[in-house]
A = this chain, B = another copy of it.
């Protein structure tokens, strides 16, 4: 690797966390790490409950529950977003006071996250008594089930007092702190209004957005350790949120979900996760830590993604307050390509959320100056644009293509064309219309279709002309819309879309003989890497944006991402050169960067580089590589680790039918994974020399192994040499 900024390559088997391949454990030392609370999060797509950590920090976030706050500008301009959606920690009904023999339990000394069961266990010793807490956030209801057990001398009294922590107050802003854009702005005051408060339930309201949150808790009590040496007390908390509901109705909703007992909830939870893991089938024979990390990544991704069609996946899920809880393009471009293949119902729900946002996207397009079509917001919760610095926000027009690509990939992998009629085709048409307005056929470039003054994925460049990723993805988008959304387009529009796609400008650097990140990227002065001390990274914290923009330096995969997503656009030699050239200018200051580099490296057969980048992606939070996992897990990196393995190592392609072109990964002892393809569960097991395909369930699947066309039936196994 000839890296711009040589980075450590964490070894999954040398992480500070322990456990087997299904369980992530943290000892007392590991419990003190800032990344531990989010790593031990439990969630069900709506509720997100951070694991043990600082006693008084907020731990409960609800997907899609936010307050609107005005965005202040000292100098504004036409079309700027006027308010931002901010997800706020809510009242927390999961707090417990645990007393053993009258002494309060103050801290846990061990934690174990059981990913097979979807359950967290915390343990602590208090004198001769061992206390354990088992907790799950039910995947099938908005409730948190907790069981406290004390084991020790017979007759020792155990008392568990549940209580509700009110919504947290404002953070104290630190005016002198160096600004970190990855952290949300501090609120000057807490907007929560208490509507109903009681010992065991309460309802709070966010006045501008109108969101109301009801929480309730029941259970708890006091009991002595019995003859068997065990005392056990259960607690269950229910949560409900709505914009339009009377507080009493909302409390009733929250209470209704608490009507089952802990054991019943555990059984349902195991069954739910069993169905997932049966598909996922991740196994890396020579690395327990790597297998655990990969499963943990999927576990957290699936816990975080909204499943109700009214929510999606925030950049940090519900595992922290980072980025205000906003949903960005990585939900579509990083998470969805995973979920479509292991949990397609979730992928569908995320697409339904996008479709539901079409009117807001239309309004956003008008604000940005496009008189037709829809432009999805760069960052949002409720659907409206919340980006306050457009050069690194709304200028990223590629968001439209990312959503179109996600829809295309979802339909390709599931065959679920019904989603087109449920608004998918209309969304596709409306979003494609934007390209025809912001791009044009430039006569000075032989009528090439050029798209000027946009920002690509790489945020260390802004307002550039003909960003490679944007242009290539726009071309895919235009062709896809012209093909499947014709009913929502005029014949002229379809023709214009095909013409634009065919004539799309692809910036090329003749000296390096590769596609260029944009028209001017290689014309910029090289970043002085040799003179940049390690403590000056990430650059965004230490340099003015203009200093960064002025240099040939990439924050993250951009052209590399295009090549990783659309490998067939470039021959293998070109991809090899792209990998080398862009590696030498990319500092990976974004957690979104490692996975596409892993995919591209694998696509050219470079197993060592692919492995190193995969390790960085999968260990992003477990090793707290960016020193900010405390603000929440990086969902794109977790998803990207799976993509690196499946789209990368196994060379999976899906857009033109299923295909694999696996490479050997001897350092892992091979690798195995599963996918759902049009409802059929396919397992892929790769050794150092061979690959085995097995169809566990469902109808026959046609696919390619390298250039060979195969069809596999249920129960069948096919083996091939690599």
Does the CB pair B181–A77 fall under 8 Å? yes
A178 at the interface (CB under 8 A from B): yes
Does the CB pair B368–A546 fall under 8 Å? yes
> What is the interface of chain A mostly: helix, strand, loop, or mixed?
loop
Does the CB pair A543–B369 fall under 8 Å? yes
Does the CB pair B84–A453 fall under 8 Å? no
Does the CB pair A544–B453 fall under 8 Å? no
We find that the number of chain A residues with CB closer than 8 angstroms to chain B is: 58
A541 at the interface (CB under 8 A from B): yes
A357 at the interface (CB under 8 A from B): no
Determine which of B72, B78, B369 lies in contact with A74 in the assembled complex, contact meaning CB atoms within 8 Å: B72
A80 neighbours in B (Cβ, 8 Å):
179, 544
A55 to chain B, nearest CB (A): 30
* CA of A547 to CA of B439, assembled, Å: 11
A residues 42-80 in Cβ contact with B at 8 Å: 70-80
A577 at the interface (CB under 8 A from B): no
Please, which residue of chain B has its CB at the minimum distance from the CB of A72? B72
Determine which of B82, B392, B395, B511 lies in contact with A444 in the assembled complex, contact meaning CB atoms within 8 Å: B511
A718 at the interface (CB under 8 A from B): no
| Given A72-B74, A179-B77, A390 contacting B544 (CB threshold 8 A) | yes
Please, which residue of chain B has its CB at the minimum distance from the CB of A84? B74
Determine which of B74, B77, B178, B550 lies in contact with A185 in the assembled complex, contact meaning CB atoms within 8 Å: B74
Determine which of B78, B84, B391, B547 lies in contact with A542 in the assembled complex, contact meaning CB atoms within 8 Å: B78
Most buried by B among A520, A543, A545: A545
Contact with B along A79-90 (1 / 0, CB 8 A): 110101000000
Please, which residue of chain B has its CB at the minimum distance from the CB of A442? B523
* CA of A123 to CA of B79, assembled, Å: 46
* CA of A550 to CA of B543, assembled, Å: 26
A258 at the interface (CB under 8 A from B): no
Please, which residue of chain B has its CB at the minimum distance from the CB of A461? B453
A540 at the interface (CB under 8 A from B): yes
A76 neighbours in B (Cβ, 8 Å):
179, 181
* CA of A440 to CA of B552, assembled, Å: 12
Determine which of B440, B463, B545 lies in contact with A77 in the assembled complex, contact meaning CB atoms within 8 Å: B545
A328 to chain B, nearest CB (A): 13
A175 at the interface (CB under 8 A from B): yes
A residues 548-576 in Cβ contact with B at 8 Å: 549-550
Does the CB pair A389–B463 fall under 8 Å? no
A351 at the interface (CB under 8 A from B): no
Does the CB pair A462–B465 fall under 8 Å? no
A455 to chain B, nearest CB (A): 9
A624 at the interface (CB under 8 A from B): no
Please, which residue of chain B has its CB at the minimum distance from the CB of A541? B78
* CA of A462 to CA of B75, assembled, Å: 15
A73 to chain B, nearest CB (A): 8
A658 neighbours in B (Cβ, 8 Å):
none
Copies of this chain, complex-wide, total 2
Determine which of B70, B390, B520 lies in contact with A465 in the assembled complex, contact meaning CB atoms within 8 Å: B520
Determine which of B75, B391, B395, B465 lies in contact with A181 in the assembled complex, contact meaning CB atoms within 8 Å: B75
* CA of A546 to CA of B464, assembled, Å: 11
A251 to chain B, nearest CB (A): 34
Does the CB pair A369–B453 fall under 8 Å? no
Does the CB pair B74–A546 fall under 8 Å? no
A452 at the interface (CB under 8 A from B): yes
A388 at the interface (CB under 8 A from B): yes
* CA of A75 to CA of B387, assembled, Å: 8
Does the CB pair A395–B453 fall under 8 Å? no
A394 at the interface (CB under 8 A from B): yes
* CA of A395 to CA of B462, assembled, Å: 13
A524 at the interface (CB under 8 A from B): yes
A252 to chain B, nearest CB (A): 37
Does the CB pair A463–B175 fall under 8 Å? no
Does the CB pair B179–A546 fall under 8 Å? no
A369 neighbours in B (Cβ, 8 Å):
543-544, 546-547
Does the CB pair A79–B390 fall under 8 Å? no
Does the CB pair B546–A394 fall under 8 Å? yes
Does the CB pair B523–A390 fall under 8 Å? no
Does the CB pair B452–A546 fall under 8 Å? no
Across the A-B interface, the 6 shortest Cβ-Cβ residue pairs: A369-B547, A79-B544, A72-B72, A74-B388, A76-B179, A453-B550
What are 7 A-B contacts defined by CB distance under 8 Å? A73-B388, A75-B388, A368-B547, A369-B547, A444-B522, A462-B463, A519-B520
Q: A78-B545, A394-B546 are in contact. List 20 more A-B contacts (CB 8 A).
A: A72-B74, A74-B84, A74-B185, A75-B393, A78-B178, A78-B540, A78-B543, A78-B544, A79-B545, A368-B544, A368-B546, A369-B543, A390-B544, A390-B545, A444-B511, A452-B520, A452-B525, A453-B549, A463-B549, A465-B520
